[in-house]
Chain A
Amino acid sequence: MDKKIEFAVAVIGAGPAGLAAAAGAAGAGAKSVVVIDRDNRAGGILNQCIHDGFGLHRYNESLSGPEYAEREKQVLLNYETAGKITILSETFVQDLIPESYGFPLAVMSTGSFRIIRAATVILAMGCRERTAGAISLPGTRPAGILTAGTAQRLMNIQNINVGRRAVIIGSGDIGLIMARRLTLEGAEVAAVTDIQPYPGGLDRNVRQCLHDFNIPLLLSTGVVKVHGNKRVEGITVAQLDSKNRLNLQTSTYIPCDTILLSVGLIPEHELARSAGAALDPATQGPVVDQHLMTTVPGLFACGNVLQVHDLVDFVSEEAEYAGACAAEMALNQFRSTGRVIQSGNTILPIKVGSNLRYVLPHTISKPGRVTLSMRVTAPEINFRVCVARLEKSDNRILLTKTFTRVSPSEMLRFAFNCDTVEPLEVYGESF
């Protein structure tokens, strides 16, 4: 097989992450970038998000998903005409097995199967939804149970109506958005439930999608049973007690013909895993250093495949950076040595301290500007995040960021000028 390297950078996925990563790579000087997406249209999940609220940070206006995607595609146009970026749509990346000499990607589309070789690869495959099976939804398994994102795509892209009276399990953002969407289409949303004592989605979505439409939000509530053998007939829910057990005395039957699930997103990590990249059990995405490179040299990750984002603006920012880093590696190291290797620097871990569920990046290899992103374990008010030397000493704290309110639904993200190469710890505390 021909071992010629066709592309400096291959980007898998043409959602906002993939688009920005390609722009970032071309902007950093990469002359041959390929973006591959299995869908017939670039934009990823944004294409089905016809509500607004995208781009408040990046474009200072509230855009709909497709509008935001359109802006990002515009950025690529010049590079495309200059022949620096190629977009392959309706093309599936089947597998990715790193070799000492670049990455062969097996790609297929209708009528074609071929191997593409690239010096570096950026994973931007987004995420998938957790399913009824994954949460062990008890009861029967009739028609009428869908994940909220699938329902969103069916309604917004395929013009298909999914039901008349729905209960939404889980108060993640997609569930909240779909509660409003169904209501606007004339369906009744009987309730949105969550097992947590606080909503899983952004505050603004709780207000704009539930409160404004008088849709009840039942917190600390679990599912006892789904009813119906053919189509969903109803659902029994009950409150959770202090030990997180269902209190069956509080069981309530809610008649409905549709159940939507918005119970979490999981990074689409299969290709990362098959390429041999280490995964973080907390994010389910790959482990990365400050350049967003995974533990496989030359393989980068950004967007929802790395960590599930709530704001697309941060996705774009993160992806541009990953693109630039991948281009840099392809242009310098790969061009001179013909291969990509782990940097010679010692890789120092960042420890996830108290009150945080995860912190990205996982490691730091050299001093410089590092963007940290993280999520807290529970909602808090008057909270601070400290970046500190791991070693206990009097002046170990390097940076403190304070927040009036934090919640697991909102990613915290800030830059940090790292002028030391010592192991670090990032932790949170209320004050």
Chain B
Amino acid sequence: MKIYDAVIVGAGVIGCAAARTLAQTNLSILVIEKEPDTGFGISSKNSGVVHSGIHYTPGTNRAVCNVRGNQMMEDLCSELCVPFKRTGKITVAFTEEQTQSLTKLLEQGKANGVPGIRLIDREKMEKLQPGIVGTTAIYTPSTGIVSPYELTIALAESAYANGVEFKFNHTVRSIDIPDRQKKYFLLHTETNTFSAKVIINAAGLGSADIARMAGIDEYTLYPCRGEYYVLDKRLKEALNLLIYPVPGAHDSGLGIHLTNTVDGNILIGPSNEYIIDDEDTATTIDIMETLREEGHHLLPSLSSTDFIRSFAGIRPKLAPPEEGGFRDFVIESRRDVRGFINLIGIESPGLTASPAIAEQVKELVGQLLPLRDRKDFIQGRPVIHNTPFLKKRFSDCSHDEKKTLISQNPDYGSIVCRCEEITLAEIKTAAARTIGPVTFAGIKYRTRAMMGRCQGGFCLQRLTEILRESFGITVDTQTLKGPGTELFTGPLRPSSCPLGKES
């Protein structure tokens, strides 16, 4: 059996960032993920905000990794061709009490080293976002937005191209820790056993369970759901930068707000609701109604057809409901279980902090194994499965650029998703570059097909054909997001002529 230097459990943004950072060294690495693709957990279900770092107590992992992550994000995204935008953010006070909290936030932000942070008055607020309500605010120019799933995918691709192995559709069920008989950890999944010198627990909502498998039972996670609405791109111009209310001391999140996404949609959310089942990403009637009302309040030009989708993400909170607020991220190398590194309770701002957490992981691993930096590390967004990355989206191109692209590759002339203007060339590239099995959700996150206002009404049927014809995936094995999520029950009846074609 191959003995990996490090096995990372979980291919979310944290696991993938750690994998990529460790891929810069001599270590052999495996990532085990229960889903068929990267980022299907919380890393695809959040606000996508690259926070500045004003909200957390100075000196905590949260504060330090947030500010450091924010600093690293721009270069990382530009190297990996991930959409990132430094929008800035205003945190607005509406009440006297909130105005007092603002001053505290300002001090905290300064102590954390948030660049450019300052109080702004009504006039400046109006200048940044015409029509904004509220009297005073904090402005943090370093706040940005990033595509969270693209970032996760890009990190994984970079790791993969640099030799990291991935095992998808594998759930870690139990772990044997090293003892006198064996020197290494054994990780058991349904069908396989893997062995490792070091385990990095980056299992998100499952991280307390993974720790427990190694005999560490001091952590409990309390799932806390956040529901969102996605708004039509028509409203793209409505919001210049992020606008948040001042959170209360015991709030479990940062309050319902409007967030632009790098793709030009606006999100309304997230709500805050402790739940029992950490897989229950359902949206609920009451909260959706609140979000709709809040949306109309915050954006008066909103019409009922602008709500194109709702979704929910679940925060892995260490703070129980009765405590509220936030506890610090657990980033630790266990003394009692030598070689076991825990990343637990990585809720917001985990996405922002991911590159900084990865740095810390590298340091912790360095204390366990001798590390040497590789000279042949492939920088940038690598070629995967002989397929180069398409740097620019067709929809972002000018007429002349489109013409050139089509003359180079005729598939660019064939539109698959009409809402987001995604071409056949882009779909084929995305499917070819997928590390694990190809799923509809995987294509969606890589291309934005099915993410527009018709939500796949037009392209689902075309994608089905493409996956069947160009990738040999039969209709009955096409899934939304892996085994159990089959989209169709199979062909309607045996057919003598190819599907969709006339004989």
Contacts and interface: CB of A to CB of B under 8 A. Distances in A.
Interface string B208-244: 0000000000000000000001100000000000000
Interface in A128-155: 128-129, 131-134, 136, 138-144, 146-147, 149-150, 153-155
Given A134-B307, A138-B285, A158-B465, A230 B454 contact: no
Interface stretch (B9-17, B367-375, B402-410): B402-410
B415 A143 contact: no
Contacts of B303: 281
A143 B461 contact: no
A163 B492 CA distance: 10
A111 B413 contact: yes
B281 A231 contact: no
B111 interface: no
A158 B413 contact: no
Contact of B480 (A143, A158, A163, A164): A143
Interface string A59-95: 0000000000000000000000000000000101010
A274 to B, nearest CB: 11
A140 B480 CA distance: 13
A147 B406 CA distance: 32
A144 B488 CA distance: 8
Contacts of A142: 480, 485
A112 B488 CA distance: 34
A129 B195 CA distance: 51
Contact of A163 (B421, B485, B489): B489
B59 interface: no
Interface stretch (A102-110, A322-330, A410-418, A423-431): A102-110
Given A111-B406, A112-B406, A138-B284, A143 B487 contact: yes
Contacts of A132: 309, 455
Contact of B499 (A94, A146, A159): A159
Nearest to A133: B309
A246 B286 CA distance: 11
Q: Which of A92, A133, A164, A225 has the most CB of B within 10 A?
A: A133
A161 interface: yes
Contacts of B311: 141
A128 B454 CA distance: 7
A427 to B, nearest CB: 25
A396 B143 CA distance: 63
B310 A133 contact: yes
Contacts of B399: 106, 113, 115
Contacts of A139: 282-283
Contact of B491 (A92, A110, A140, A161): A161
Contacts of A110: 410-411, 413-414, 424
B305 A134 contact: yes
B408 to A, nearest CB: 10
B298 interface: no
Interface in A281-301: 281, 284
B364 interface: no
Contacts of A164: 489
A108 B457 contact: no
B282 A160 contact: no
A266 interface: yes
A113 B285 contact: no
B258 to A, nearest CB: 18
Contact of A133 (B230, B410, B485): B230
A237 interface: no
A154 B488 contact: yes
A163 to B, nearest CB: 6
A160 B288 CA distance: 34
A153 B102 CA distance: 56
B490 to A, nearest CB: 6
A136 B305 contact: no
Given A108-B413, A131-B455, A224 B307 contact: no
Given A161-B492, A185-B492, A136 B413 contact: no
A113 B402 contact: yes
B472 interface: no
A160 B499 contact: yes
Contacts of B433: none
B377 interface: no
A350 interface: no
A147 B403 CA distance: 34
Interface string B309-342: 1110000000000000000000000000000000
Q: Which of B403, B461, B499 has the most CB of A within 10 A?
A: B461
Interface string B407-438: 10011011100100100100000000000000
Interface residues of B, number: 58
B118 to A, nearest CB: 39
A224 B454 contact: no
A110 B414 CA distance: 5
B410 A111 contact: yes
Contacts of B229: 136
A146 B454 CA distance: 11
Interface in B260-292: 279-285, 288, 292
Interface string A4-16: 0000000000000
Contacts of A155: 492
Given A131-B308, A131-B457, A134-B307, A143 B485 contact: yes
A312 B317 CA distance: 56
B409 to A, nearest CB: 9
B310 A157 contact: no
A90 B484 CA distance: 35
A193 B495 CA distance: 33
B461 A158 contact: yes
A389 interface: no
Contacts of A38: 415, 418
Interface in B470-501: 475, 479-481, 484-493, 495, 499-500
Contacts of A332: none
A164 B489 CA distance: 8
A282 to B, nearest CB: 12
B489 A153 contact: no
B413 A231 contact: no
A136 B304 CA distance: 10
Interface string A201-232: 00000000000000000000000111001110
A144 B489 CA distance: 10
A162 interface: yes
Interface in A227-244: 229-231
A131 B459 CA distance: 13
B465 to A, nearest CB: 7
B308 A162 contact: no
B57 interface: no
Contact of A150 (B230, B281, B414, B461): B461
B406 A113 contact: yes
B460 interface: yes
B363 to A, nearest CB: 37
B499 A158 contact: yes
Contacts of A128: 454, 457-458
Nearest to B487: A143
B481 to A, nearest CB: 8
B475 A266 contact: no
A102 B13 CA distance: 51
18 contacts: A106-B399, A109-B413, A113-B413, A128-B454, A131-B453, A131-B457, A133-B455, A136-B283, A138-B288, A139-B283, A141-B311, A142-B480, A159-B492, A161-B488, A164-B489, A225-B285, A226-B282, A281-B303
Interface of B: 229-230, 279-285, 288, 292, 303, 305, 307-311, 399, 402-403, 406-407, 410-411, 413-415, 418, 421, 424, 453-458, 460-461, 464-465, 475, 479-481, 484-493, 495, 499-500
Given A147-B457, A154-B488, 16 more contacts: A90-B414, A109-B413, A110-B414, A111-B407, A111-B413, A113-B402, A128-B457, A131-B453, A133-B230, A136-B292, A138-B284, A142-B480, A157-B461, A159-B492, A281-B303, A284-B305
Q: Which 4 A-B pairs have the closest CB atoms?
A: A111-B410, A133-B309, A230-B484, A143-B480
